[in-house]
Structure 1
């Protein structure tokens, strides 16, 4: 994503205006399909479609269709107006003002106002909401967010104000040059107070929900499907082409591929290891797109976690023994890249950390892993280490856990057991620390390394390893207010690589089978955000 604020950081009181280029842009002469529907596969039931509750990728995809925030993104990841048509910051980026469009309405006909954002953001950090993303309010540096989350101050004291229906003013506790890039995240989307007050936690049911995005929720069958249909009240409805979008829950990726090839799906993930074959057989259908996501394993560093992994030598040994090249080149085979740092290489504002083990050969890493384990009292001549690996149900996750367990057993004599859980149960177990080692996946909420590195903040809501380092906390706080934090971000990565609270395994590529009739898929959006309103289906040849 090109961050306008970074490019213009030297300018005071900058106003951001972007030419309107929204919704599906169908070229002249293109014949559209009569059936304007898009059906795609998801692995698990989504966590929620409540903007302030949703915490997973598949749920956020749905929320981006149902709701629209202040800003949105182009197919290239550039910021575009959403509900806000103009925005500006003061010189030190501590106050931001947004001008809202006057033709945005909710699906029940009520106008979308600045007050709807005030309500949503206060709701995000309100302890009574128990939002898993409440910490994002702190990450945004919203004034008083930390105190509100701690229960010390009322939500009404949050630094966000509706000056009038079309003017929203946001006050930050410290300058944040990339603040506007954070506003495409679902947790910042508006919420209809009158609907939530009437229906409580049932407000997102299809018969109750009121939305302000390009689509409304027409059907939801848990663990089976979710259907959204075009909203006639959306301000740009006339330029929205797809009429129906359906997410089908299919746990088995091979079954999903079979259904795709039978014409039942327009998009599905390529099963692990099958991309080389499929791209040769279906060159116009199989695609691999690098994206800002990292696959990793957490160590449980809580007091009740395994005694062995409290020892940094054991954590380092287990990480060094993972042959990442084998995983990406022989197991995954879909364009993924080996990860030795947490934030994907190439992100804006990311320096080049010096990670010692990255420069070793795998043989050297293996030898060092053996030495570290023996020094810690495990392996040949020592104690046999027993670990369980927790992952959410998926053939791909099972396969990777099996491979990593084999590497640990063969090289270090570690015995592993695999433990899989359904998605929401898995999230709860991981959050509660009911694991030895657990898989994790993190995708950028915005294009800055802080979206990754903040997971190592002691108080982060997604610090599933329960890692705590005062120096890292201080560096994170210092880096947030800098327009150029490359050196600090690199320093954080170096500390994390040394203390190894997590094992970075690989950086993702989105590897899909995509119906060639579906046009304008945003392959250049490195955050992998897509909006159904920007897509359309052409007639079959």
Structure 2
């Protein structure tokens, strides 16, 4: 997969439907229900299929099903062989060797076998192509793989590439040479940037595709068209039409076909404006899964109707929160900022730690999430730490427990940071922070522009909720101003930012994060002052630029802590504790306010629980491999039993 931002406006629109007709029976069954086909109704936006370059979740939702990686995760989340059948590291974990599977073939989008099979050289081609085309994942490899950073800055000759730390002793062996000890490297190779590319096919897609002589304008490899790549994964992309439909069909010759139970997956474009679409399809006997949406006027009727079947979906590894634009330069999307005085005042406020803490204390996150969900669901979505629960466990506790202990030491009092409850809401504390901010020169009231997708009623509800709670809990001293905009504008100014100067808001709730590999570094690095991915969303330039701002908000000090934690590579308990202190420091300085995870909710489905391959990182976060459908609806009791069995099996597999 990839380092990525997760678009909550996309995630919330997801619904799964099976291709069939007929009405559901009273026992939850349907005689016409097809268990081998799936339709996904989604606000999808495929930009490119070049899996070595893209870092967009919307792209990898497709390509993770089309091209396999060296390793993958099974349904319990354990690393298992994929294109590699075995792997090992040297004693200091600076050299990693992978042995490839025999007989893996490449195929065109029509299923025609490509003349040349998979070899180790394909991994070299993939890595070099990504470097040539300035992969959005290059930052992950620079300083990781020997010579990679130097190659990216070179003339990109064959001699330059020969110095890069990827070697192929034979056609079935790939060796990565790293610049330093990386104990979690095996979990990184589940990402697209490490995936193979067949050189002959690549260079057939245009003169600009040639290795060492890149020209994106003259290269059609990885464009958003089915014939732009070769396939070795479980599906082929047979059709794609932007903002209309796409279809995956099973790769009939896939090497692991026994674990692929769907013949096709069809994507139908939906902007999510019809909140009843999913449940309508489900009740017509066509859906495999649907959510019960609290925003429905007759929500209670549906809840009663499906009380035997409704279950709470599983937590996940993502973390969303409030992002501050610390250096706003664009004011095209605004409610207040045509007033130069108000504009300057807001800038001073967001740079003030006490102001940011006042906003956190005033923000009713449960009400915000509950504007479109019942309280039990809203609370279940709460996440108070900018990391994921599986980041690392020590003899002294889980990673989240380590963060809580570190924050207690830093803050001087204990704050419960567990998922499922929000510990920050406190009007009295909000007003105290406001008084401190006033003493430090912040003038109130402070206005904050908040971007909102105008076509999404549920997101408008959430924006209005945060505006209301913040206003009430600060006695009008902080005014959140929802700014309605179309999806494309919102994407350009608040999500897919190429230039920090185009971040056109004061605060945003539209970006989240999922881990790239099994280590807390994956999250902590996003706020690295040197090259952190969230810099753009905060309006900040990388490197030494904007240093004064970074120093003021605590980001420079945070970065030193992150860099020190990363140097601990042999004592994993010490490493996790050091990173936990970084996460605690982030909470203390409040330059990002984590508050939720990717959408959870009450669901009804005909998906066999826990059959889909699972991982909090890598290709399996988007892959349909393993997923099975069944004719009858899953009862809440059946789901609970399956969840208990899955959790026990997963725990046992980790011992």
With the shorter chain as reference, the TM-score category is 0.7 to 0.9
2:289·2:606 contact (CA, 8 Å) conserved in 1? no
Within the alignment, does 1:178 sit opposite 2:184 as a pair? yes
CA separation in 1, counterparts of 2:292 and 2:277? Answer: 9
Residue of structure 1 equivalent to 2:350:
309
Q: Which of 148, 155, 165 is 2:171 aligned to?
A: 165
2:317·2:515 contact (CA, 8 Å) conserved in 1? yes
Residue of structure 2 equivalent to 1:225:
245
2:607·2:627 contact (CA, 8 Å) conserved in 1? no
Within the alignment, does 1:534 sit opposite 2:626 as a pair? yes
1:224·1:248 contact (CA, 8 Å) conserved in 2? yes
1:122·1:156 contact (CA, 8 Å) conserved in 2? no
Q: Partner of 1:297: helix, strand, or coil?
A: strand
CA separation in 2, counterparts of 1:89 and 1:391? Answer: 47
Per the TM alignment, residue 383 of structure 1 is displaced from its structure 2 partner at its CA by 3.2
Within the alignment, does 1:448 sit opposite 2:451 as a pair? no
2:66·2:237 contact (CA, 8 Å) conserved in 1? yes
Unmatched segments (≥5 aa) in structure 2: 1-30, 108-112, 206-218, 331-346, 394-398, 417-421, 541-548, 634-655
Moved more, 476-485 or 291-300: 476-485
Per the TM alignment, residue 401 of structure 1 is displaced from its structure 2 partner at its CA by 2.3
CA separation in 1, counterparts of 2:444 and 2:35? Answer: 63
1:106·1:233 contact (CA, 8 Å) conserved in 2? no
1:93·1:176 contact (CA, 8 Å) conserved in 2? yes
Aligned ranges 1:394-473 → 2 under 5 Å: 394-412=456-474, 413=476, 414-415=478-479, 416-422=481-487, 424-425=491-492, 426-429=494-497, 432=500, 433-439=503-509, 440-458=511-529, 459-463=531-535, 464-465=537-538, 466=540, 468=550, 469-473=555-559
Q: How far does the alpha carbon of each residue in 1:140-196 deviate from its partner, in whole angstroms, 9 at most, with x for none?
A: x22234444556975554322222221000111111111111222233222333333
2:293·2:372 contact (CA, 8 Å) conserved in 1? no
Q: Partner of 2:45: helix, strand, or coil?
A: coil
Per the TM alignment, residue 362 of structure 1 is displaced from its structure 2 partner at its CA by 6.4
CA separation in 2, counterparts of 1:44 and 1:378? Answer: 48
Q: Which of 276, 289, 292 is 2:314 aligned to?
A: 289
CA separation in 2, counterparts of 1:63 and 1:51? Answer: 7
Unmatched segments (≥5 aa) in structure 1: 1-30
Moved more, 84-93 or 491-500: 491-500
Residue of structure 2 equivalent to 1:367:
428
Per the TM alignment, residue 329 of structure 1 is displaced from its structure 2 partner at its CA by 5.7
Per the TM alignment, residue 369 of structure 1 is displaced from its structure 2 partner at its CA by 2.2
Q: How far does the alpha carbon of each residue in 1:79-137 deviate from its partner, in whole angstroms, 9 at most, with x for none?
A: 111100000001111110000112111114331122222222233344xx243322222
Q: Partner of 2:313: helix, strand, or coil?
A: strand
* Superposition CA RMSD, Å: 3.4
Q: Which of 508, 511, 518 is 2:601 aligned to?
A: 511
Higher strand share: 1
CA separation in 2, counterparts of 1:242 and 1:215? Answer: 9
Per the TM alignment, residue 364 of structure 1 is displaced from its structure 2 partner at its CA by 7.4
Larger radius of gyration: 2
Within the alignment, does 1:84 sit opposite 2:170 as a pair? no
Per the TM alignment, residue 453 of structure 1 is displaced from its structure 2 partner at its CA by 1.1
Q: How far does the alpha carbon of each residue in 1:59-86 deviate from its partner, in whole angstroms, 9 at most, with x for none?
A: 3232221010000111111111110000
Residue of structure 2 equivalent to 1:99:
99
Q: Partner of 1:473: helix, strand, or coil?
A: helix
Q: 1:383 to 1:149 in 2, by over 3 A?
A: farther
Q: Which of 255, 260, 271 is 2:281 aligned to?
A: 260
Q: Partner of 2:41: helix, strand, or coil?
A: strand
CA separation in 2, counterparts of 1:53 and 1:269? Answer: 34
1:518·1:535 contact (CA, 8 Å) conserved in 2? yes
Moved more, 211-220 or 247-256: 247-256
CA separation in 2, counterparts of 1:370 and 1:460? Answer: 32
Q: 1:343 to 1:273 in 2, by over 3 A?
A: farther
Q: Partner of 1:454: helix, strand, or coil?
A: helix
Aligned ranges 1:103-114 → 2 under 5 Å: 103-107=103-107, 108-109=113-114, 110-114=116-120
TM-score, normalising length: structure 1: 0.83
Aligned ranges 1:44-83 → 2 under 5 Å: 44-83=44-83
Moved more, 400-409 or 223-232: 400-409
Aligned ranges 1:346-357 → 2 under 5 Å: 347-349=391-393, 350=399, 351-352=402-403, 353-354=406-407, 356=411
Q: Partner of 1:317: helix, strand, or coil?
A: helix
Give the length in aligned residue pairs: 508
CA separation in 1, counterparts of 2:304 and 2:499? Answer: 41
Residue of structure 1 equivalent to 2:642:
none
Residue of structure 1 equivalent to 2:135:
131
CA separation in 1, counterparts of 2:371 and 2:520? Answer: 29
Per the TM alignment, residue 303 of structure 1 is displaced from its structure 2 partner at its CA by 6.5
Q: Partner of 2:317: helix, strand, or coil?
A: strand
Within the alignment, does 1:213 sit opposite 2:233 as a pair? yes
CA separation in 2, counterparts of 1:150 and 1:462? Answer: 23
Per the TM alignment, residue 421 of structure 1 is displaced from its structure 2 partner at its CA by 4.3
CA separation in 2, counterparts of 1:36 and 1:314? Answer: 54
Q: Which of 472, 478, 482 is 2:564 aligned to?
A: 478
CA separation in 1, counterparts of 2:146 and 2:80? Answer: 25
Q: Partner of 1:45: helix, strand, or coil?
A: coil
Moved more, 68-77 or 483-492: 483-492
Per the TM alignment, residue 57 of structure 1 is displaced from its structure 2 partner at its CA by 3.3
